[in-house]
């Protein structure tokens, strides 16, 4: 009787362990972040529907363009647009992608 209990317990444990491993793999699978990103890009991306083979190249170009722009503006002596910048904290949507901010 105790042997039967032991075997049943071991079998149940193995099943639970299997389910745990499966859940871990599922959690690590790309579907989770992918779904999250899909939801976000649907609302935030300026170029909806253009997602294709060149996403990485476009990302690389956009990051480098942003880097150039940030460097140029950092070195410029012209005063910052305080009014517009302050307004941006309270209102939404005067720059594309504002609703993406936390």
Q: Does 25 bind another protein (CB under 8 A)?
A: yes
33 binds another protein (CB under 8 A): yes
Under the criterion CB under 8 A, does residue 101 sit at the interface with another protein? yes
Q: Does 63 bind another protein (CB under 8 A)?
A: yes
Q: Which residues contact 93 (CB under 8 A, 6 or more apart)?
A: 99
* CA 28 to chain centroid: 14
By CB under 8 A, residue 9 contacts another protein: no
> Of the candidates 1, 5, 49, 77, which one interacts with another protein according to CB under 8 A?
77
Choose, by CB under 8 A, the member of 74, 90, 91, 93 that binds another protein: 74
39 binds another protein (CB under 8 A): no
Sign of the C-alpha dihedral computed for residues 32, 37, 40 and 42 taken in this order: negative
CA distance linking residue 12 with residue 23, whole number of Å = 16
């Amino acid at each position: 009787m105790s042997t039967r209990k032991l075997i049943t317990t071991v079998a149940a444990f193995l099943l639970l362990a299997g389910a745990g491993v499966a859940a871990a793999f599922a959690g690590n699978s790309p579907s989770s972040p992918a779904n999250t990103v899909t939801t976000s890009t649907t609302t935030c991306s300026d170029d909806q529907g253009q997602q294709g083979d060149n996403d990485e190249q476009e990302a690389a170009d956009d990051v480098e363009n942003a880097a150039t722009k940030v460097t140029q503006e950092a070195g410029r002596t012209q005063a910052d647009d305080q009014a517009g910048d302050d307004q941006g904290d309270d209102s939404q949507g005067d720059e594309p992608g504002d609703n993406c901010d936390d």
